[in-house]
């Protein structure tokens, strides 16, 4: 199991993720010029599966950094 937090992003740079644990993550999503932050607690199977894919960095997820996530956090 990786050390948390773990950072991921989508290739289109519209969604950035901070994975806090094996069951929780934050997402910053860009829609136009606006940014939205959501926190998800994975309890249903699709959410759990998505989180597992993010942790293992399966496509389409890519590695990211705390600096990258925090730069978008400042735009909220």
Domain boundary assignment for the chain: 6-73
Kindly write down the DSSP assignment for every residue of 1-28, as one continuous string: -PPSPEEEE-TTSSEEEEEEETTEEEEE
Residue 70: how many CB atoms within 10 A of its CB? 13
Residue 1, pLDDT score: 66
Residue 2, pLDDT score: 80
Per-residue confidence in pLDDT tens, the chain, 76 aa: 689 999 999 999 999 999 999 999 999 999 999 999 999 999 999 999 999 999 999 999 999 999 999 999 999 8
Radius of gyration of the chain from its Cα atoms, rounded to whole angstroms: 12
């Amino acid at each position: 199991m990786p050390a948390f937090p773990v950072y991921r992003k989508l290739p289109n740079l519209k969604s950035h993720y901070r994975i806090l644990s094996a069951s929780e993550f934050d997402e910053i999503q860009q829609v136009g010029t606006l940014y939205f932050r959501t926190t998800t607690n994975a309890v249903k199977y699709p959410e759990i599966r998505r989180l597992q894919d993010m942790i293992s960095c399966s496509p389409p997820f890519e590695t990211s950094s705390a600096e990258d996530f925090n730069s978008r956090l400042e735009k909220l």
